[in-house]
Amino acid sequence: MQLAVLSDIHSNFIALKACIKFIESRPIDGIILLGDYVSDCPKPQNTLKEIKQLIQRYPSWVIKGNREEYFLNYRDGKEENWEYTSYKGSLLYTYERLTKEDLMWFEKLPSTLTVEIEGAKPITIMHGSPVCAKELMDKNQENTDVHMETCKTDYLLAGHTHRQFVYYHKNKMLLNPGSIGVAIGERATAHMALLRWEDNQWKYNLIGVPYSYNKLKQEFEKSSLMERANVWPKCILKSIDSGVNVGPICAKKAYDLAIEDCQKIKDRIVPEYYWEQAAKELGVI
């Protein structure tokens, strides 16, 4: 029994297609998908089409991530201040390209799930943590240890951090497959993982699948995302091209510049001038 574990695709359908090609070249028995399927890159519909075709071909376990939650909350009037700016323009761009059927599919997805396969030990899967899709679980962190201790299974899978790793605590294993769409650590490489049941335990391989950055960049340049979301998509491209998570760094830099300039910041909305200044200082634009 061998499973492919995919997470944090973020509308990067070019990276996803490279991973699917890798999967199809291996004896894979099932697919685990950990959420954050769309946003940040162009072509969310292409991405969802690839995902839905994939899960029709393999037994699959699929959950929602925090991005899917954002879109559902926005639909239900629980998210505010979505405008075409660097802050949330990318989310609005994606939302306007989702169908009612897409949102209904997101709604049906569970936040956590137990993968139960006959003859193998169960696996608990989540996007962020067992209690919150936005919670980060990194190695050697107190909250991670607490969640692992209270989890009913010995094996846990989580995404959200975009960092590929395996962490052991009190005879339990947490695996993060990393991000397919915006991976941290390697340039223009999609991160995923394989799990295989062998010798009465789940063994793993952390996988990096290269893909064409130039082809992805062309998709950005052809789309209206670059103009409508201003600095943010440029941060995403920089992140993919460098393997460094530039987006949060730029956002914090923009905020700090605004505060230094005695700007009053409400609801974390920083004027575009400071986003652009931060992006210039960081070499994003």
pLDDT confidence of residue 58:
98
CB 154 within 8 A of CB 171: yes
pTM, 2 dp: 0.97
CB 45 within 8 A of CB 97: yes
Planar angle of CA 168, 170, 173, nearest 5 degrees? 35
Query: Mapping DSSP to helix (H, G, I), strand (E, B) and coil, where does residue 173 land?
Result: strand
- In eight-state DSSP terms, residue 265 is P
* HSE toward the beta carbon, residue 66, CA cutoff 13 A: 14
Cα–Cα distance, 221 to 163 (Å, whole number):
27
CB 183 within 8 A of CB 162: yes
pLDDT confidence of residue 268:
86
Q: Considering just the CA atoms, what is the radius of gyration of the chain in Å?
A: 19
pLDDT confidence of residue 15:
99
Cα–Cα distance, 260 to 52 (Å, whole number):
47
Cα–Cα distance, 58 to 242 (Å, whole number):
33
Max intra-chain CA distance, the chain:
62
CB 37 within 8 A of CB 48: yes
Task: For domain 2-210, say whether CATH 3.60.21.10 is its number.
Answer: yes
Residue span(s) of the chain under CATH 3.60.21.10 come to 2-210
Cα–Cα distance, 239 to 219 (Å, whole number):
16
Beta bridge partners of 62: 33
User: Taking the chain (285 residues) in consecutive chunks of 10 residues, what is each chunk's mean pLDDT?
Assistant: 98 99 98 99 98 98 99 96 96 98 99 98 99 98 98 99 98 99 97 98 99 98 98 99 98 97 92 98 97
Cα–Cα distance, 235 to 7 (Å, whole number):
20
